[in-house]
Chains A and B, each alone.
Chain A
Amino acid sequence: MQKITRDQLITKAVELLSNGTVSAVLGWQKGEFDYDITPAVFTTEEEIKNNFVYNDFCGANFSKYLVAKTKKLEGKILVFLKPCDTYSFNQLLTEHRFDREKVYAVAIGCEGMADVVKLKNKVDGIISIDYKDDAMYVDTLYDGTVKVDYADVLAERCINCKSKKCVAYDELMGEDGEVIDSARFDEVARLEAMTPDERFAFWQNELSRCIRCNACRDACPACTCEKCVFDNPNSGVENKAPANSFEEQMFHIIRAYHVAGRCTDCGECSRVCPQNIPLHLLNRKFIKDINECYGEYQAGAEVGSRAPLVDYTEGDLEPGEVFERGDNNA
């Protein structure tokens, strides 16, 4: 259950829209179902009052939307950012991907978002959801109203939340939190402890389910290239029918390399994956390695920071040491 309510956000949005601070509002609206919430741009008070929603399924990271939206818009756009979204926001500013002047950012405290898949695994035939203080009450086709604890459907990325601190905003709603010493690398460590064969089998199993829908890339706030290498026929890795079961793995490995050092670990890739592939683990492996090789680094913690992979200091690891690390991990 979120402490910030829909009504509070609507009031803020309407206020900023009517006093002319912003000319559009980036928010959430209901999709086909109660749990399937879709990002939307609102430009009138009426639209906002009728369609704006905010609940535990509003997990989408809006930062990336600013790249396209700020280009076309006259005036400013209001964006609501959860703590993890603020990191992506900063990272995109570091990469000069949108004009900060065209954005009015309102950071909102977050209690952790729910995972649709976890909910669907618990209850069938969801009609509507009532968010009460103690739990969700899910109205279903078959079993009447089912009570579901928030903790039981909390998304993985929120269980292992790295930070409740809002690192960028014009205005803060609710309380700012702290950076959390989370257990987010435990699963990566478990994979590292495997033999190469076991690890290969693990990823083969996961990645073989990929249908190459590109949702991970499309949702990823680090993937904002004017032309993605996977859409570029000259890149040599453009989208094509896979010749064998390994090609899709190459897609994910290439993508992980492309966002290495820039990924803020927002977890959107895994959230949007229709095949439930734990893609965030690839990125976390890179983050863990970067932390261990070059010292703790959090992409997006501040604007303009130089990521270790595109920076050089005399204390940097020698290539041979990196190679040995790889050897020891093999």
Chain B
Amino acid sequence: MQRIGVFVCWCGSNIAGTVDVKAVAEALKAEPGVVYSTDYQYMCSQAGQNLIIDAVKEHNLTGLVICSCSPRMHEATFRKTAAAAGLNPYMVEIANIREQCSWVHKEMPVGTEKAIILGKAAVAKVNLNTPLTPGESPVTKRALVIGGGIAGIQTALDIADAGFPVDIVETKPTIGGKMAQLDKTFPTLDCAACILTPKMVDVAQHEKIRIFSYSEVTDVKGFVGNFDVTIKKKARFVDETKCTGCGDCVDKCPMKKNPNEFNMGMDNRSAIYIPFAQAVPKVATIDAGACTMLKKGKCGLCSKVCGAGAIDYTQKDEFIEEKYGAIVVATGFNPISMDKFDEYAYNQSKDVITSLEFERLTNAAGPTQGKLLRPSDGKHPHKIVFVQCVGSRCAACAEKGKEYCSKICCMYTAKHAMLTRDKYPDTEVYVFYIDVRTPGKNFDEFYRRAVEEYGVNYIKGMVGKIVPEGDVLKVQASDLISNKQLHIDADLVVLAAAIEPDKSARPLATMLTASMDTNDFFTEAHPKLRPVESPTAGVFLSGACQGPKDIPETVSQAGAAASKVIGLLCKDKLTGNPCIASANEMMCNGCSSCERVCPYGAITYSDKEFRMPDRTTQIRRVASVNPAVCQGCGACTVACPSGAMDLRGFANNQIMAEVDAICK
């Protein structure tokens, strides 16, 4: 029989405000096995922990029930306390009477009753707990960074500089991401390419970094320290080891009418292409959907002009399998589609563009060599309207846009407005906004300069409708401050489209068993205290895949993610989780149900000899669990039809005892 101590935490008024903690401690005294029960203001404090240690010694306790916050918060704390008191750390159960009780109830009697029930369930479980000892697993000292934008680049550089090998997987033919498409960067107005491309070159030249460009992660198995990842290198029909990036093939390719993704489709590229001059790796890629050689077997010009003999029309997708100790997700963002915003006439007029398209229009490497010209007729626009929050902060129109603030638009719109006025002082610039949000170092000063020094017309209010008429765009808007309707004949309209996570993020999250929020941004392990870790051990977050971010924030988060990865890869061994599955061979049917549901490939089957009661020998096919690979998810225990599979620390009889205690 266990000797159980119950410790009810007030958590200041967090718990004690809605739960009568003394009544809970009193009620749980009567539960089977409980020999001591008390309450304290902050059980996690040094004094609270000492109270537990003293009680263990004084009352010879064998098991502990801590009624406190979520186990995700302090289970580890109290396990250490138990160890300090000489108990096995797995003789501790947490009854979550904060997140699942006091915080969700308002009435004291209701909260108290539920806290008692949760406490009873925990006591019932501790009665069946057994001491557990964790095993150890080795760490593969290599990191995978998924996404090659500024977030991925910075993370990879930081990890590699610490001496660990890093692989970057990027779906596009080049790394660089969104930042490579930008013209200038706020608030200092340095050129994006000037600060990014040296980093891209560093990546390319770093002996510890490998770049898998034009590649995707297709499968992830394993667990922290020991991920097995399959990477698909899509066929680019060019041998990367031979291509010198000279561009002769690009010039000669006759299929030149393909929308250029890098310039947001505002000009065309050939079927074989190098996205931009500073691409890394600087290797050509054939667009299989546009190449006549690949489609019809006719042409082959690029192959003829290639001095390096790098063109290979027979190239196939290649699958690479590699082991990693840590994975960093840096899948980034995209502007949302403007298709649903009919009121802004994006699909009706070429002169209604998104901000990212505006970046390309003002970029010296863009479709207009940096001259600000209207896409429709190539004339210089004299009146430009910027519309902010297109699809952002859009609670009422959730089917069109996003509820959240995209965070970066206020600043880049101020940048666009300022740069336009600086270069073309004859241009009138209007910015329509809901609020101007400029929290950040030197951000508000930047915005004030746009208004005060550059004479940008900031108007609080939203644009209601844009109608293309002749060669002008009739903009109807409201000015909320002077309470007037405005009619502006604009030459160009720029929409600050909301940003959303890249579409590859959701399937990737499934592969990684990493959690996401309703907007498909990756969730952190803790929003304040563990912002760069995913709740899935060994998976880290970098950049806008976790939430909208500007470049400085992205770079600092990338560095933070790298430091977490380095901390992990420095270790030679990881202490495992002792709460893993094991099969009772006498009950195992050998049906393979568990093997099929195991996401970690931890279960194998073998034929074993069994001595039967009648002294005969029988050979039966039975399951066994590899303790180094099992992560204790419990999928096998519910798939097993006979109940032969059980999870240590969460055994079927323990769960049933908890349910019984709750239903009593």
Contact = CB atoms under 8 A, between A and B. Distances in A.
B592 A258 contact: no
B652 A232 contact: no
A314 B507 contact: yes
B633 to A, nearest CB: 12
A262 B641 CA distance: 10
Given A258-B641, A314-B510, A96 B596 contact: no
Interface stretch (B280-288, B382-390, B441-449, B582-590): B582-590
B642 interface: yes
Interface string A200-232: 000000000000000000000000111111001
B629 interface: no
B519 to A, nearest CB: 16
Contacts of B642: 225-229, 232
Nearest to B595: A310
A7 interface: no
A226 B510 CA distance: 35
Contacts of A236: 652-653, 656
B607 to A, nearest CB: 10
27 contacts: A94-B592, A95-B589, A95-B591, A96-B589, A96-B591, A96-B592, A96-B605, A96-B621, A97-B589, A97-B591, A224-B589, A225-B641, A226-B587, A226-B644, A229-B642, A229-B643, A234-B643, A235-B652, A236-B652, A259-B641, A306-B596, A310-B596, A310-B597, A310-B639, A311-B596, A314-B507, A314-B510
Contacts of A229: 642-643
B656 A232 contact: no
Contacts of B591: 95-97
Nearest to B612: A71
Contacts, number: 58
Contacts of B590: 95-97
B618 interface: yes
B593 interface: yes
A238 to B, nearest CB: 11
Interface string A287-323: 0000000000000000000100011101000000000
B596 A225 contact: no
Interface residues of A, number: 23
A235 B643 contact: yes
Nearest to A92: B591
A306 to B, nearest CB: 6
A232 B644 CA distance: 10
Contacts of B589: 95-97, 224-226
Interface of B: 507, 510, 586-593, 596-597, 605, 618, 620-621, 639, 641-644, 652-653, 656
B587 A227 contact: yes
A224 B587 CA distance: 11
Contacts of B587: 225-227, 232
B597 A71 contact: no
B200 to A, nearest CB: 33
A104 B486 CA distance: 87
B105 to A, nearest CB: 23
A interface SS class: loop
Instruction: Kindly name the residue among A232, A236, A306 whose own CB sees the greatest number of chain B CB atoms within 10 A.
Output: A236
A231 B510 CA distance: 38
A97 B620 CA distance: 9
B620 to A, nearest CB: 8
A312 B639 CA distance: 13
A74 to B, nearest CB: 13
A71 B590 CA distance: 14
Nearest to A262: B641
Contacts of B656: 236
Given A97-B590, A227-B644, A234-B643, 10 more contacts: A225-B587, A226-B587, A226-B642, A229-B642, A232-B587, A234-B653, A235-B643, A262-B641, A312-B597, A314-B507
Contacts of B621: 96
Interface in A68-101: 71, 94-97
A224 B507 CA distance: 38
Contacts of A71: 618
Nearest to A227: B587
A262 B588 CA distance: 17
A326 B639 CA distance: 21
A96 to B, nearest CB: 5
6 nearest A-B residue pairs (beta carbon): A95-B591, A225-B642, A236-B656, A227-B587, A96-B590, A310-B597
Nearest to A232: B643
A314 B639 CA distance: 19
Nearest to B618: A71
A311 B593 CA distance: 9
A296 to B, nearest CB: 20
Contacts of B639: 310
Contacts of A306: 596
Interface string A230-246: 00101110000000000
A258 B640 CA distance: 9
Nearest to A229: B643
B348 to A, nearest CB: 36
Nearest to A234: B653
B634 to A, nearest CB: 14
B588 A226 contact: yes
A306 B595 CA distance: 11
A244 B644 CA distance: 28
A59 to B, nearest CB: 25
Nearest to A235: B643
